[in-house]
Structures are given as structure tokens and as C-alpha cells.
Amino acid sequence: LSATDTMQVVVVNLASACTDCRIVFASDRDGNSEIYSCKVDGSDIHRLTNDTGTDDDPVWSPDHSRIAFISDRTGIPELYIMNADGSNVLRKTFSGTYSHNPTWSPDGTHVAWLSDASGEYQLMIGEPSGVTPPRAVALPANAFYDSATWSPDVTQILIQENHNELWAFEVA
């Protein structure tokens, strides 16, 4: 790993030893931001995406079988989900507006992300399959929202905005 790599590290289960743990991260090491994975010691780096757009904000599904990420490969940052090995890349949003910071529910049944599809920021919650339209949750205006985190029981999402205020939303 290099100093220019961006990483999000999520510890999924402290109770079990991980014999083949991998980190997923975004890096512009090859010219533009792509998604990579590597072992926790920084070795065995695999490039998972390869396109002219910016791929960013990667996050593992709880079972590590899939990765949600944001890409502007069509011109606007949208939500994508792919298999852990980089195969089967599927675009999940078609709003034509800015999406960012995806996060998986602890049980892997939903993905939440932040979007400005309505002209104001909103929290979007959808199924990874994309079969049903995502649900939009209005957020207080006049802020830029940085991140969203699920509660362990999947009933709430905590959102941080750029002034470090935290907002909790019921989602169950």
C-alpha cells in the first residue's frame, strides 16, 4: 500500500480468527481511482475494477462476498455492487444525481447510501438486488453528509454531517 491509497477498514467479527482476511480500498496508483483488495499486511494486491471513471467508497458486504462502491463511469457518481473478485459489476442506481458513502446493513439485506436525487441530501435504503425501488429518507437541509452507519439490530442508521453533528433515523 502507498501513502496515496484511500482505505476503509471494517472489522466484521472479532470472535473468529480470520485466516484469509482482505482489505478493500480505492487508489489512483494506476492513473485514476480504482477498487483494489489486499491481505491485511498490504501484500497480494488485486485490482478489482478497470475503467476510465472514478471508482471510490468501496465497502464489503458482511459476508465478504460482494463489494458496494460508487463510480462515475457513466458521468455521475452512482451506486454499484460487484462480487468480491471484481466480477459481475452491476449498476444499482439510475438517478443521474450524486451518490456517495454506501454502507451494508449488518445482515447484508440492505445497502444505504447518501444521495442528492431530490435536490437536497437524502438517505437512500435499498436491497442489493435492486428489485424494489429504494426508500428515500429526508435529511435536515443545509449540510453535507459524510457517512452513515447501521445499528447492529438494523433498526437505525446514524449519519454524520460535515459539522460533526450526528442524526439517528429509524429504518425498520
Per-residue model confidence as pLDDT tens digits over 86-129: 999 999 988 777 888 999 999 999 999 998 876 778 889 999 98
Model pTM score? 0.86
User: Residue 166: which of 136, 140, 134, 138 has the closest Cα?
Assistant: 140
Mention every residue, 6+ apart, whose C-beta is less than 8 A from residue 3: none
Q: Which helix (H) or strand (E) holds 112?
A: strand 111-115
Tens digits of residue pLDDT in 31-62:
899 999 999 889 999 999 999 999 999 999 99
CA dihedral 141, 159, 95, 83 (to 10 degrees): 170
| Contact criterion met (CB below 8 Å) for 161 and 144 | yes
CA count, 13 A, side-chain hemisphere, 164: 0
